[in-house]
Amino acid sequence: MKKQYIPLILAITLAISIVSIPIVQAVLPAPELNSPTNAAITADTTPTFTWSSVAGANKYYIMIDDSPTFFSPFVADETTSTSYTYSISLGNATYYWRVLAIDAGGIWGDWSEVRSVTVILRSYLSSPTNGSTTSDSTPTFEWLSRYGADSYRIQIDESSLFGSPVVNTTTSINTYTAPTLLDDTYYWRVRVIGDSAQTDWSDTWSFTVSTGDGPGPDEAYFTVEVSSTSGSVVAGNSVDVDVTVISVGGYSQTVTLSATGAPGNTSVDFSPLESTPSFNSIIAISTSSVTPTGQYTLTITGTGADAETDSTTYSLQVTSTETPTDGPGGGVSWEFPWWIILLIILLLIIAYIIYRYLRRKAEKAIEEREKKKKVKT
- pLDDT reported for residue 212: 73
Same domain for 187 and 127:
yes
SS3 percent helix, strand, coil of the chain, rounded to 5, is 15, 40, 45
Q: With respect to residue 272, please indicate whether it lies within any of the assigned structural domains.
A: yes
Residue 373 has pLDDT above 80, yes or no: no
- pLDDT reported for residue 333: 42
Confidence class for position 13, pLDDT limits 50, 70, 90:
low
Per residue in 297-315, pLDDT (tens digit) is 999 999 998 888 888 888 8
Same domain for 115 and 126:
no
How many domains is the chain partitioned into structurally?
A: 4
Range of the domain at 283: 222-335
Average pLDDT for the chain: 83
Contact predicate 130/247, CB 8 Å = no
Burial class (CB in 10 A: 0-12, 13-18, 19+), 213: exposed
Q: What is the pTM of this model?
A: 0.44
- DSSP type of residue 209: E
% of residues, the chain, pLDDT over 90: 39
Q: With respect to residue 28, please indicate whether it lies within any of the assigned structural domains.
A: no
Least confident piece of the model among 304-318, 325-339, 354-368: 325-339
Dist CA 207 CA 182 (whole Å): 12
Least confident piece of the model among 18-27, 46-55, 273-282, 334-343: 18-27
Burial class (CB in 10 A: 0-12, 13-18, 19+), 286: middle
Residue 218 has pLDDT above 60, yes or no: no
Nearest to 243 by CA among 222, 233, 228, 255: 228
Domain containing 319 — which CATH number? 2.60.40.10
- Maximum CA pair distance of the chain? 144
Same domain for 206 and 126:
yes
Nearest to 201 by CA among 209, 211, 210, 193: 193
Q: With respect to residue 159, please indicate whether it lies within any of the assigned structural domains.
A: yes
Confidence class for position 11, pLDDT limits 50, 70, 90:
low
Confidence class for position 63, pLDDT limits 50, 70, 90:
very high
Same domain for 134 and 177:
yes
Residue 144 has pLDDT above 50, yes or no: yes
Final residue of a structural domain among 84, 119, 154:
119
- pLDDT reported for residue 260: 93
Same domain for 105 and 39:
yes
Final residue of a structural domain among 198, 214, 230:
214
Instruction: Please give the C-alpha separations between residue 270 and each of 147, 244, 256, 259, in angstroms, as whole numbers.
Output: 32, 12, 10, 9
- pLDDT reported for residue 213: 55
